[in-house]
C-alpha cells in the first residue's frame, strides 16, 4: 500500500509503518511529502492501526526540508510563515494529538525538521549510525517543527540553546545521554527492537494508552492541580472500557490479559 512514491504507508497486525521514501535526497521533505505525512497521521486516528512506526528509506531518517529555491528572487517571494503554519505545524500537532503511540525508528541522520519529527514521536529507538542535529542555524534559520518547545523540555534550556545555536550534529549515544532517545542499538538489532516494541504497544489497552499520552501532553503545559484533575476526568474513559474489565479479570484469574482496544 503506497500513498505516494515519496511516502509509503502500510498496516499489518495493528502496526502502521510510515516511511519517508526519497532516499536519493536523504528523505528531505518537500511540500507534497509534508502534506502526505499530515494526511497519513490524521487518517491514523480512525483506521485499524494501534501503533505507528515512522522511519525513512535508505540510509537516512529525514535530512530536513528540501529547499527548492533557484535564486534570491525565489527566496524573497516565498511566504515561509504561511508554509509553516499550513503544513509543518499541523503535522507536528497531529502527531502529538494522535491518540496512538508513535515510534521513531531512527537509523541514520535526523536533522532539521527531520530531527523534530523524531522528537514529536513518543518513543525513539536509534541505531548506532543515527545522527541528530538542529542545523537550522547553519543556513541562517531559526528552528521550526516544534523544536523550541520539545527540545528544552527534554534537555533543559541551556543545552537546547547550545545545540540550536551551534547546529552541532550529535551521535545516537549523545542523544541517549541527553535523554532524547529510549535506546541505542547495533544497526542489525534495530528492526527487531522496533518490531518488539510495536507489537507490545499494539497489544496494550488502547484507551489507556491514548489517555496516558493525552495526560503527558497536558502535563507539559499545566500546573500540578490541573494535571491531577485532567487525570481524574480522563480515568473515567479507562474505567468504563472493556479493556479495564479484561485487565481486572485477567489479574484475578492469574492469566495474561487480551486487550481489544474497546
- 200-240 pLDDT, tens per residue? 999 999 999 999 999 999 999 888 888 888 888 888 888 88
170 grid coordinates: 550529535
Domain 2-202 listed as CATH 3.40.50.300: no
* Spatial distance between the Cα atoms of 235 and 220, rounded to a whole number of angstroms: 18
Domain with CATH 3.90.226.10 in the chain: 2-202
- 39-65 pLDDT, tens per residue? 999 999 999 999 999 999 999 999 999
**Residue 1 predicted with pLDDT over 50:** no
**Residue 34 predicted with pLDDT over 70:** yes
Q: Is the pTM of this model over 0.75?
A: yes
DSSP secondary-structure letter at 111? E
**Residue 80 predicted with pLDDT over 90:** no
Domain with CATH 1.10.12.10 in the chain: 206-252
Strands (E), the chain: 2-4, 7-12, 15-20, 51-56, 102-106, 109-111, 123-127, 131-133, 169-171, 183-185
pLDDT at position 207 is 95
> 23: how many CB neighbours lie within 10 A of its CB?
14
Q: Which of 93, 78, 171 is nearest to 129 (CA)?
A: 171
Q: Based on the number of CB atoms within 10 Å of its own CB, is 219 exposed (0-12), middle (13-18) or buried (19 or more)?
A: middle
**Residue 72 predicted with pLDDT over 80:** no
What CATH topology corresponds to 206-252? Answer: Lyase 2-enoyl-coa Hydratase; Chain  A, domain 2 (1.10.12)
- 133-180 pLDDT, tens per residue? 999 999 888 999 999 999 999 999 999 999 999 999 999 999 999 999
pLDDT at position 248 is 79
The residues, any chain, with a CB within 8 Å of residue 14's CB and separated by 6 or more, are 48, 49, 50, 51, 202
Q: Which residues pair with 15 in a beta bridge?
A: 12, 51
Contact indicator for 9, 16 with CB cutoff of 8 Å: yes
* Spatial distance between the Cα atoms of 151 and 134, rounded to a whole number of angstroms: 10
Amino acid at each position: 500500500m503506497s500513498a505516494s512514491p515519496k511516502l509509503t504507508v502500510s498496516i499489518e497486525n495493528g502496526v502502521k509503518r510510515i516511511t519517508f521514501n526519497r532516499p536519493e535526497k536523504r528523505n528531505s521533505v518537500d511540500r507534497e511529502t509534508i502534506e502526505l505525512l499530515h494526511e497519513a497521521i490524521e487518517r491514523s486516528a480512525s483506521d485499524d492501526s494501534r501503533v505507528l512506526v515512522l522511519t525513512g528509506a535508505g540510509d537516512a531518517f529525514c535530512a530536513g526540508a528540501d529547499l527548492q529555491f533557484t535564486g534570491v528572487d525565489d527566496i524573497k517571494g516565498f511566504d515561509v510563515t504561511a508554509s509553516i503554519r499550513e503544513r509543518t505545524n499541523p503535522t507536528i500537532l497531529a502527531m502529538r494529538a494522535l491518540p496512538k503511540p508513535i515510534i521513531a525508528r531512527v537509523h541514520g541522520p535526523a536533522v532539521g525538521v527531520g530531527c523534530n519529527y523524531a522528537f514529536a514521536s513518543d518513543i525513539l529507538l536509534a541505531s548506532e549510525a543515527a545522527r541528530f542535529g538542529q542545523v537550522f542555524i547553519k543556513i541562517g534559520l531559526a528552528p521550526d517543527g516544534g523544536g523550541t518547545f520539545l527540545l528544552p523540555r527534554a534537555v533543559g534550556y541551556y543545552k537546547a540553546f547550545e545545540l540550536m545555536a551551534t547546529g552541532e550534529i550529535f551521535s545516537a549515544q549523545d542523544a541517549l545521554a541527553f535523554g532524547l532517545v529510549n535506546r541505542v542499538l547495533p544497526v542489525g538489532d534495530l528492526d527487531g527492537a522496533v518490531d518488539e516494541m510495536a507489537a507490545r504497544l499494539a497489544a496494550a489497552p488502547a484507551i489507556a494508552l491514548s489517555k496516558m499520552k493525552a495526560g503527558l501532553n497536558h502535563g507539559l503545559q499545566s500546573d500540578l492541580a490541573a494535571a491531577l484533575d485532567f487525570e481524574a476526568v480522563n480515568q473515567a474513559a479507562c474505567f468504563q472500557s472493556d479493556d479495564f474489565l479484561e485487565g481486572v479479570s485477567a489479574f484475578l484469574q492469574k492469566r495474561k490479559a487480551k486487550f481489544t482496544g474497546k
